[in-house]
Amino acid sequence: MDTANHTNDAGTGGSGASGGDAGATHSNRMPALVLGALGVVYGDIGTSPLYTLREAFTHTGLPLDEPTILGVLSLAFWALIIVVTVKYVMVIMRADNRGEGGVMALGTLAHRGLGSVAGGRAIIALSILGMALFYGDSLITPAISVLSAVEGLKVVTPALEPFVLPITVLVITFLFLFQRQGTGRVGIFFGPIMALWFATLAILGLVQVVQWPDVLRALNPLYGIGLFAVHGWLGFITLGAVVLAVTGAEALYADMGHFGRAPIRFAWLYLVLPALVLNYFGQGAMLLHEPETLENPFFHLAPDWAQLPLVVLSTAATVIASQAVISGAFSLTRQAVQLGYLPRREIRHTSEHEVGQVYIPRNNWLLLAGVVILVIGFGSSSNLAAAYGVSVTGAMAIDTILAAVVAWRLWGWNPVFVIAAFAFFLVIDLALFGATLMKVPEGGWFPLLIAAAVYLLMSTWRRGRAILADRLYADALPMDLFLQRVSPQSPQRVAGTAVFMTGNPDVVPHALLHNIKHNKVIHERVVILTVQIEEVPRVNPDKAVYVEKLGKGFFRVVLRYGYLEQPHIPRALERCRRYGLHLDMMETSFFLGRETLIQSKTEGLPGWREPMFILLSKTALSATEFFCIPPGRVVELGTQVEI
């Protein structure tokens, strides 16, 4: 039931509008979509000015003088241009899987394009690693964003410093408690708040730039290059802080399915990018002439009377940024479950209209615990900044590799051009990643530890399920041979319909054989049901149901779903009527196999991973709940399997 088949869809390569853009380009919808993109897509990267420039000087050892300030500003500006604007907005966003983006969609396209067994396994490994790195980022983003905003209270008055951590924990706890309600209830406010936020960023920065326009010299890339020439190793370490300016860039691609390319590109080029550049340069101008404001240059941009309202606004912006990351973690988890990377788990849909709005209770409480531990353990946004960036830059490098495969194999780009262009991007990604590795002793180990743990769990589950399938179907009886042995007299037929779920529709399910062995009967109508999750977001309704009459009262039914769709077996079986299979749920029984896994010394999973896979299997949501089958119509038949 976990199998995923390939389709013939490919990334658009930029030639024409994708499915995600079909409605996005409509003039009446564009303003609303741009506003929505501001509220969902740009929260993470939009709150980076709270801490980026401060961290570039407080933890690197660089002197606070004119050449270094201009050099850091130049590096931040060109990182925004090359990494975000050119790589993500102009190139990677061309790769869409039926309008959907993100590392999973990109990995699916790359896997489809490569095709070879060895290459396909490498692509799967990179996709899993990219997802694992995202989980590390989803823990740190809420912690550092909210904490850096609340720390503005110290600028208002130092007397409020003891309340920073308690208020941060309170805000974060409220944020996670609210998840069960769904983001749709407050989503209408996200866009206007973030629009106000970016307008504030631009105005605060513009005031300083107009006052000291000499800071605009940092637009010259030679100042960034000069930073390396003069300070050498310290310049390289500074990249670990500069990368904070581009954290959240992957969200532009990951959320493409919600808004389409056009609104996201418009919002970035005409609203977000100018606001960020103005604010960074405004902070730089202030540091050039008032170096004593380095303690928190962002909040010092505002006059005294505006600092408290700015703390409130920045806290709201960071909550929105955190919400986007948390929702992304939920969506990514659902996709991973559908594609067989994680065990089945409870997934609640919080909106009747938006399929992407889901809530996963288990993940929510794990994320809350992790974020609170981070806030209390690290104690300040400066300490958290030392842990931030490692997972982000690692994920960016993976995106570059996967996008290169897509451009080469699916878009048909000239291999020489692909190598030249993506090697340029990869060198920058690896330089940023290498710089963030310098943070490992100071806290960068945490996201790497989380990513390693998630990767181990996901790879163990995927490999274990493949081995389990081999064990279950190794000696299975072919369906054709079984039907030849079935006669009208034996076994005895009883009234009603029996549905047997199986991952391999060509062989007899174990549950069917067990039912014959113990009950000595076969129902008058037997449905061999297989659920397949395709490597596309959604399956065309005309191709979602396949019914084949096998004879002697047997039917083979294959239900196909995209990885963004929630399987609902009873609802899908109702659609079988058009194919001549009429099922009455009140006279239908579902026979499910429940495997009891035991460790073995045979070839398969390494001995130390077997207990991990068995534990993961015990935590999996039952097929009854996951496939929305009425519990009163289910019969479970158990079997022991050595893994």
pLDDT tens sequence across 423-453: 999 999 999 999 998 888 888 888 889 899 9
Please report the pLDDT score of residue 319 as a whole number. 85
pLDDT digits (tens, 9 = 90+) for 133-152: 888 888 888 888 899 889 88
pLDDT confidence bin for 24, thresholds 50/70/90:
very low
Question: Has residue 6 been placed in a domain?
Answer: no
Give percent of the chain above pLDDT 90.
Answer: 36
Q: Are residues 457 and 432 in the same domain?
A: yes
Task: Check whether 249 has a pLDDT greater than 80.
Answer: yes
Of 463, 487, 505, the residue at which a domain comes to its end is: 463
Mean pLDDT in residue range 169-193 = 76
Question: How many CB atoms sit inside 10 A of residue 631's CB?
Answer: 9
Residue 231 lies in a domain: yes
Contact 347, 112 (CB under 8 A): no
Scanning 560-637, the segments in alpha helix (DSSP H) are 569-574, 610-619, 623-626
Residue 599 placed within a domain? yes
In a domain, 52, yes or no: yes
Cα-to-chain-centroid distance, residue 500: 33
Contact 314, 47 (CB under 8 A): yes
Residues 137, 216: one domain? yes
**How does pLDDT run across 563-597, given as a tens digit for each residue?**
878 899 999 999 998 888 888 888 899 998 887 78
DSSP 183-210: THHHHHHHHHHHHHHHHHHHHHHHHHHH
The distance of Cα 560 from the centroid of its chain, to the nearest Å, equals 23
CA dist 349 and 343 (Å) reads 18
pLDDT in tens, 157-178: 788 888 889 999 999 998 888 7
**542 to 386, 530, 538, 571: CA distances (angstroms):** 51, 17, 12, 15
Mean pLDDT of 406-423: 93
- We report the CATH number of the domain holding residue 273 as 1.20.1740.10
Match 């945490």 to its residue by tokens. Answer: 446
Tokens standing for residue 634: 């289910």
pLDDT in tens, 345-402: 888 876 554 555 678 888 899 999 999 999 999 888 888 887 888 888 999 999 999 9
Q: What is the pLDDT of residues 264-314, one digit of tens each?
A: 899 999 999 999 999 999 999 999 999 999 888 999 999 988 989 999 999
Residue range of the domain that includes 512: 477-642
Q: Is pLDDT larger for residue 48 or for residue 117? A: 48
- Asked if pLDDT for residue 183 goes beyond 60, the answer is no
pLDDT of residue 25: 40
Domain boundary among 408, 439, 463: 463
**Cα 628-631-634 angle, rounded to 5 deg:** 100
Least confident of 268-272, 339-343, 575-579, 636-640: 636-640
One domain for residues 442 and 577 = no
Residues comprising the chain, all counted: 643
Half-sphere exposure of 588 (CA within 13 A, CB side): 20
Residue 221 lies in a domain: yes
Average pLDDT of span 100-118: 79
Query: What is the rounded distance in angstroms from the CA atom of residue 8 to the CA atom of residue 638?
Result: 38
- The answer to whether residues 290 and 157 belong to one domain is yes
Give the count of beta carbons closer than 10 Å to the beta carbon of residue 582. 11
Cβ atoms of 42 and 128 closer than 8 Å: no
**Least-confidence region, from 4-13, 451-460, 600-609:** 4-13
* Residue 9 within any structural domain of the chain: no
Matching residue, tokens 């190598």: 419
Closest CA to 286 of 297, 276, 296, 302: 297
Q: 41 φ, ψ to 5°? A: -80, -40
Per-residue pLDDT band at 16 (split at 50, 70, 90): very low
Beta carbons within 10 angstroms of residue 430's beta carbon = 15
* 143 CB-side CA count, 13 A: 29
Last residue of a domain, which of 434, 463, 492?
463
The number of domains in the chain is: 2
The pair of structure tokens assigned to 58 is 């407080």
Residue 326 pLDDT grade (very low, low, confident, very high; cuts 50, 70, 90):
confident
Band of residue 6 on the pLDDT scale cut at 50, 70, 90: very low
CA distance 379 to 132: 25
- Of 8 and 122, more confident: 122
Identify whether residues 591 and 448 lie together within a single domain: no
pTM given for the model: 0.82
Question: What gap in Å lies between CA 151 and CA 163, rounded to an integer?
Answer: 9
Q: Which two tokens stand for residue 63?
A: 């002197």
Residue 84 has phi, psi (to 5 degrees) of -85, -55
**Nearest-5° Cα angle at 41, 78 to 11:** 85
493-514 as b/e, with b when 16 or more CB fall inside 10 Å?
beeebbbbbbbbbebbbbbbbe
- Note whether 610 and 490 are same-domain residues: yes
DSSP H/E element including 229? helix 221-231
pLDDT of residue 3: 39
Check whether residue 333 and residue 356 sit in a common domain: yes
Q: Are residues 448 and 491 in the same domain?
A: no
Alpha-carbon 473 to chain mean position? 33
The CB-side HSE value for 260 (13 A sphere, CA atoms) comes to 21
Helix axes of 221-231 and 233-242: crossing angle, nearest 10 degrees? 130
Based on the domain organization, do 488 and 432 belong to the same domain?
no
Question: Contact 296/156 with Cβ under 8 angstroms?
Answer: no
- At residue 38, the pLDDT reads 86
- What's the pLDDT score for residue 354? 52
Higher pLDDT, 284 or 604: 284
Residues 194 and 230 both lie in one domain:
yes
Query: In a 3-state reduction of DSSP, which class is residue 632?
Result: helix
Structural domain includes residue 28: no
At 223, phi and psi to the nearest 5?
A: -65, -40
Q: Are residues 429 and 486 in the same domain?
A: no
Report the amino acid identity of residue 169: V
Q: Is the peptide bond before 491 cis (omega within 30 degrees of 0)?
A: yes
Same domain, 116 and 147: yes
Query: For the residues of 104-169, what is the DSSP string, one character each?
Result: HHHHHHHHHHH--HHHHHHHHHHHHHHHHHHHHHHHHHHHHHHHHHHTHHHHH-GGGGGGHHHHHH
Query: What pLDDT sits at residue 350?
Result: 65
User: Does residue 471 belong to any structural domain of this protein?
Assistant: no
pLDDT tens for each residue of 49-85: 999 998 888 877 788 899 999 999 999 999 999 999 9
